[in-house]
Amino acid sequence: MDGWQETEIRVRYAETDKMGIVHHSNYLIWFEAGRSDLCRARGFSYKEMEDNDNALMVVAESYCRYKSPAYYEDVLSVRTRVAEIRSRSIRFIYEIYRPSDDTLLAEGETLHLVTDQSKRVRQIPDIYKERLAAEELVYAEAFPANQAPS
C-alpha cells in the first residue's frame, strides 16, 4: 500500500488469552513496533532523537478500534503512516491487517507530544519533521482531535 510503512508480526502464544485470541492490549504494543519501524525507515530511531537531540515522543492520546480477532500463529501486517505533524506534536495512524484472508483486524491512532528530558513540551527538531513529512500526509484519515471516531 502506497504511503504505509509495513511491519510483519507473528502472534506469539503469550499474546493470547485462554481462547487463543490476541489480548486487546497487544495492539498498542504493535502500534509502537510499527511506529518504530516507520522512524527507522525514515532514517532515524527513537534512541537517536532522545540521545542526540533531547527530544522524546510522549504518547498523549491513543485510540484503537477492534474489528476482527487475531489468533495464535497469525502473521499480521502493522501498517503505519504519519497523519499530521505540528510544531510540537505528531499523529500516527495504524491498520493491523491479516494478509492470509484479507482481513482488517484493527485500526487506530496515537498522538505524541515532543518533550525534553525534563518533561517540558518542546518543538520537534526540524530534521525529524522533514524526515517524517517525507511521504505525503493524509490528514483526512486521522480521527478529529479530542473525539473518538463514530
Q: What positions carry a catalytic annotation?
A: 17
According to DSSP, the residues that pair with 98 across neighbouring strands are 103
DSSP code for 123: P
Q: Report the alpha-carbon distance of residue 86 to residue 121 in Å, rounded.
A: 13
Residue 150 has a CB neighbour count (10 Å cut-off) of: 5
How many beta carbons lie within 10 A of that of residue 33, not counting itself? 14
Cα distances from 138 to residues 85, 144, 148, in angstroms, run 11, 13, 18
Taking every pair of Cα atoms in the chain, the longest distance, rounded to a whole number of angstroms, is 47
